[in-house]
Amino acid sequence: MSKSEIALVVGAGGPGLGAAVARACAKDGMRVAVASRTKAKVDSIAQSIGANARAYACDATQPEDVAALFSAVTKDLGEPDLVVFNAGAYAPGNVLDIDPKEFERCWRNGAFGGFLVAQAAGRQMVARGQGTILLTGATASLRGSARFLNLAIGKFGLRAVAQSFARDLAPKGVHVAHVIIDGQIESDRPGYRADERGQDAVLNPDAIAETYLQLHRQHRSAWTQEIDLRPWVEKF
């Protein structure tokens, strides 16, 4: 492990997985950049980590924003060794009632944003011949459920991004993996608290973050392209 490694987490605006990954990377000795559409949402995360973290504003659905983010992180910290895309959007609704604009917004946040971030990361990493890109998926990456079309359209697309990028970039030294979070992540929201659901019935974000680090540390002779994580009580 090199103490000079740099991690960039795009989509760290809440107290859940993005923040947990940022903390885990910092604990592992990396310098960390956290980004969200609204910088105020990631300022507190960077501050809680300390001097080795910086916060940035970035709308991942805008090519100019993504380019500016990578330029700023490279200037401030250096080129990222690990890039995590954890952004997305979801608006529940019956398929007959979904607003086309909401459908497009969810696709842009979930799939198009992942493409832009992975492409920017990949261009830097291919030039160096190394790096890791991790894309956060969900149960909706595998199946479209009733009222979940707006989530599934972005997650299905993101899974395709991950597969194609992995096949294109792995021979060039860049590890791309898709992480399917098959369950609810623990948070302070009603219904998502561990004490309400029972022991380990929701995924602990810090435990998920450990898997992200393990993926980054994998030897290239045994890279994972896709992994699914779920609570031990899940009945599949």
Query: Is 145 a member of any domain?
Result: yes
Read off the CATH number of the domain in which 122 is found.
3.40.50.720
Query: Is 235 a member of any domain?
Result: no
* Domain, as residue range, for 122: 6-229
Residues 140-175 have pLDDT tens digits of 999 999 999 999 999 999 999 999 999 999 999 999
Mean pLDDT of the chain: 93
Whether the predicted model's global pTM rises above the 0.85 cut: yes
Task: Please write down the long-range contacts of 37-45, taking CB distance under 8 Å and 24 or more positions apart.
Answer: 37/13, 38/13, 41/12, 41/13, 41/14, 42/12, 42/13, 45/12, 45/18, 45/19
Tally the domains of the chain.
1
Query: Is 114 a member of any domain?
Result: yes
Query: Is 234 a member of any domain?
Result: no
H-assigned helices in 50-143: 63-76, 100-107, 113-128
Residues 87-119 have pLDDT tens digits of 988 889 999 999 999 999 999 999 999 999 999
Query: Is 81 a member of any domain?
Result: yes
Give the burial class of 187: count Cβ atoms within 10 A of its Cβ; 0-12 exposed, 13-18 middle, 19 or more buried.
middle
